[in-house]
């Protein structure tokens, strides 16, 4: 028997939205570790894997390994009936005939109960070998989505090149050509961090100046000084918090590149644009590249992840 409760239906909505255009029917494999999906897209060009660990649910119970054959279009229609902040409970018994979904409103007494018929899907589980990639790039997922969307206006294939200079995305078509270069650690992020540190230093200097100023009326100001000091101390504390927050933003906004050797590969923009539907799930995306090896695109979120594997366009590489 399976029983899994998720605190927000919105997460499940985003996961389904990220894969439903690539996969029509698939087995969701349920075991003691969580719920997983692995399937080729409808054209057998890309491989998609999804994993929701048991930590994504509370409570989570799975007595034995259970494959749940589900039509993702039907599941998407049902999950749309829930609000993003609704509690969602998945239930399936050992008969394997249907999957029950219960939506509970967090602020009302509304409870919706739905049931989806399960499918018997004969699906082979593919072994994915561990690979040491030539280049691994971590960047903001929204920036990657924007690049794919913008460059798809000019062509159908995108060249991704990782080098010491940075990571370059380029496209060429009948309309024209374009490229976008992202260097490691954006200058904007670095400036923001330095600016915050300077503000903190300036504040400390101001505090020091106040401490050494001569006090003309010592007796009159004895009661006032401690209050001023506390006020300045609190103000200085706020500056330090601001500086720490700025450093966190730098990590989120920056581009990180681990380069073993230069890589240049071409991929279908149609598929990459589909993959970027995972953007709402994660603020970061990781691209792993090696020559003649499928691209690995990974989005990590909370207690789960989505991975996409896409083979490079070998014909386009040879032509160039």
CATH of the domain at 53: 3.10.150.10
Q: Please tell me the predicted confidence (pLDDT) of residue 124.
A: 74
Residue 101 counted as domain residue: yes
Q: Tokens for 274? A: 């589909």
Residue 310 counted as domain residue: no
The per-residue pLDDT for range 262-318, each reduced to its tens digit, is 999 999 999 999 999 999 999 999 999 999 899 999 999 988 999 999 999 886 544
The whole-angstrom separation of Cα 231 and Cα 202 is 16
| Same domain membership, residue 162 and residue 112 | no
Q: Say if CB 67 and CB 125 are below 8 A apart.
A: no
| Same domain membership, residue 281 and residue 156 | yes
Count CA within 13 A, CB hemisphere, residue 279. Answer: 17
Residue 225 counted as domain residue: no
| Same domain membership, residue 163 and residue 43 | no
| Same domain membership, residue 106 and residue 52 | yes
What parts of the chain have a pLDDT lower than 50? 187-203, 210-251, 317-320
Q: Please tell me the predicted confidence (pLDDT) of residue 107.
A: 80
The whole-angstrom separation of Cα 139 and Cα 253 is 7
CATH of the domain at 171: 3.70.10.10
| Same domain membership, residue 169 and residue 20 | no
| Same domain membership, residue 112 and residue 162 | no
| Same domain membership, residue 90 and residue 29 | yes
Residue 202 counted as domain residue: no
Residue 103 counted as domain residue: yes
pTM metric for this prediction? 0.76
Could you tell me the residue range of the domain that residue 170 belongs to?
135-186+252-293
| Same domain membership, residue 169 and residue 66 | no
**Which H or E run includes 320?**
none
The whole-angstrom separation of Cα 243 and Cα 195 is 8
End-to-end CA distance of the chain, in Å? 55
Residue 256 counted as domain residue: yes
Q: Please tell me the predicted confidence (pLDDT) of residue 195.
A: 42
Quick one: angle between helices 187-212 and 225-253, nearest 10?
Answer: 170
| Same domain membership, residue 151 and residue 21 | no
| Same domain membership, residue 50 and residue 81 | yes
Residue 313 counted as domain residue: no
The whole-angstrom separation of Cα 179 and Cα 159 is 9
| Same domain membership, residue 272 and residue 171 | yes
| Same domain membership, residue 34 and residue 173 | no
Phi, psi (deg, nearest 5) at residue 50: -130, 140
Domain total of the chain: 2
């Amino acid at each position: 028997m399976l029983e899994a409760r998720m605190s927000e239906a919105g997460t499940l909505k985003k996961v389904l939205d990220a894969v439903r255009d690539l996969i029509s029917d698939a087995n969701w494999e349920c075991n003691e570790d969580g719920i997983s999906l692995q399937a080729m897209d409808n054209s057998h060009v890309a491989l998609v894997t999804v994993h929701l660990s048991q930590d994504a649910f509370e409570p989570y119970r799975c007595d034995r390994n259970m494959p749940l054959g589900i039509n993702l279009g039907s599941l998407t229609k049902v999950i749309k009936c829930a609000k993003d902040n609704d509690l969602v409970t998945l239930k399936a018994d050992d008969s394997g005939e249907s999957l029950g979904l219960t939506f509970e409103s967090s602020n009302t007494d509304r409870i919706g109960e739905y049931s989806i018929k399960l499918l018997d899907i004969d699906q082979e589980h593919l072994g994915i070998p561990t690979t040491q990639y030539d280049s691994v790039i971590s960047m903001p997922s929204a920036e990657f989505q924007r690049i794919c969307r913008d460059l798809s206006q000019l062509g159908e294939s995108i060249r991704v090149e990782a080098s010491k200079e940075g990571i370059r995305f380029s496209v060429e078509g009948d309309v024209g050509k374009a490229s976008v270069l992202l260097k490691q650690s954006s200058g904007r992020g670095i400036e923001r961090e330095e600016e915050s540190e300077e503000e903190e230093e300036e504040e400390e200097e101001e505090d020091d100046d106040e401490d050494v100023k001569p006090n003309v009326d010592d007796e009159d100001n004895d009661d006032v000084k401690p209050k001023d000091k506390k006020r300045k101390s609190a103000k200085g504390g706020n500056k330090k918090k601001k500086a720490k927050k700025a450093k966190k933003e730098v990590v989120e906004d920056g581009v990180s590149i681990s380069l073993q050797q230069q890589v240049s590969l071409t991929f279908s923009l149609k598929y990459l644009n589909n993959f970027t539907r995972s953007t709402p799930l994660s603020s970061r995306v990781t691209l792993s590249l090696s020559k003649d090896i499928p691209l690995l695109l990974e989005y990590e979120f909370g207690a789960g992840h989505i991975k996409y594997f896409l083979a490079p366009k070998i014909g386009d590489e040879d032509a160039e």
